[in-house]
Amino acid sequence: MKEVWIVAAGAVTAAGGDLETTWRTLLAGKTAIRRVDRFPTQGYRSEWGALVPDLIPQGRRSLVQTLMDRVLDQVAVAVPEETLLITATTKAGIDNLERRRKGEEADPEDILPAHLGRRAAERLGLLREPFNLSAACASSTVAVAQGASLIGAGWAEAVLILGLDVVTEFVFSGFSALQILSPFPCRPFDRDRAGLTVGEGGAYLFLMEGRKAAKGGFAPLAKVIGCGVSNDAHHITAPDREGRGLIRAVEGALQSAGVKKEEVAGISAHGTGTIHNDAMELTAFRQVFGEKGPPLYSAKGCIGHTFGAAGGIEIALATKILASGLLPPTQGFLNPEKGAEGKVSAQAREIPGPYVLVTNSGFGGINAAVLLQRV
């Protein structure tokens, strides 16, 4: 298999308009979760969210198009025209569907996920037909696994991953109806957690085949050395309580990388703050890594749950973890859930070793894991 390098990464979140600002906010133990003022929240289960400041639609264009432009503005490397673009989103321009239903000005094409890729490819001058990958809240992570697999198998030399999702009243009301919104800012892996907090954001990850990247003068931020994707087929929204799907995904990532479980230095977990997701993850990690296991954290206490963009943002942040040797704190973590003692912390920690695991899970039983190596 060919080496897969991440040669560039960027992000826009509620915690910062770029990856560096988001990283500093996260590392400082601060949170970007605020009361939502984009739409009325009366009558919903929560009033909290992590929304990108000053994100407003431009004319007939959707919020996600405006967000995409902010993310693409950060692409500071020359992207070859033969690069394959994979977008990852769960809702795309859903706000334009809302506006259209209200009789307001909206671009109907902007509602479709495929439209994101076409617009981005046109802006970047890419020749290959892009495609969108929608795998619930593991979308971006699965997209990275897909892109790395295509490069590893020799079917592509460069892949650009673009993960994007925004918060609208439709999205907010849906999660409220499922009764999984926390009435207070989310507390991942805390025994007093009561649900997730919605967030929005976007990220790009530029993957290249190692030799082509070196020849082109690119330096790697990290290497993608293992991936695993599974589905537990348990429930339309709830995870398998025993974590069997996540276990398969993590073991698949370790096996494809040829890395022993003892060598993993830290885990960027999904960590939504819902009762069942956090318990499932702790169960799965204990099954794979044993009672001790590596330390882990969740970014969602800082930036909220960014849905299909979550994995892209968290993998971009993982390149910072590897470069600094620091695992960020988990915001909102006060009272450890059983199994989180000694593994999750409200303080940043130094981690040894060159390997960091990123995991995400989603509705429908989807699970994905990506193993990164420091360079």
Host H or E run for residue 367: strand 366-373
Q: What is the largest CA-CA distance in the chain?
A: 57
Question: Of 16, 3, 5, 4, whose CA–CA distance to 313 is shortest?
Answer: 16
**Whole-angstrom distance, CA of residue 20 vs CA of residue 246:** 30
What pairs with residue 66 in β-bridges?
A: none
The backbone torsions φ and ψ at residue 222, rounded to the nearest 5 degrees and listed phi first, read -170, 165
CA pair distance 97, 272, nearest whole angstrom: 27
DSSP H or E run through 7: strand 4-13
Catalytic residue among 186, 227, 270, 302: 270
137 tagged catalytic: yes
The yes-or-no answer on residue 305 being catalytic is yes
Alpha carbon distance 41, 38 (integer Å) = 9
Reading the block at residue 313, the tokens are: 């943002």
SS3 label, residue 83: coil
Could you say which of 115, 137, 227, 302 is catalytic?
137
CB distance 294 to 268 below 8 Å: no
What DSSP character marks residue 80?
-
For the question of residue 235 being annotated catalytic, the response is no
HSE-up of 126 (CA within 13 Å, CB side)?
22
The set of catalytic residues is 137, 270, 305
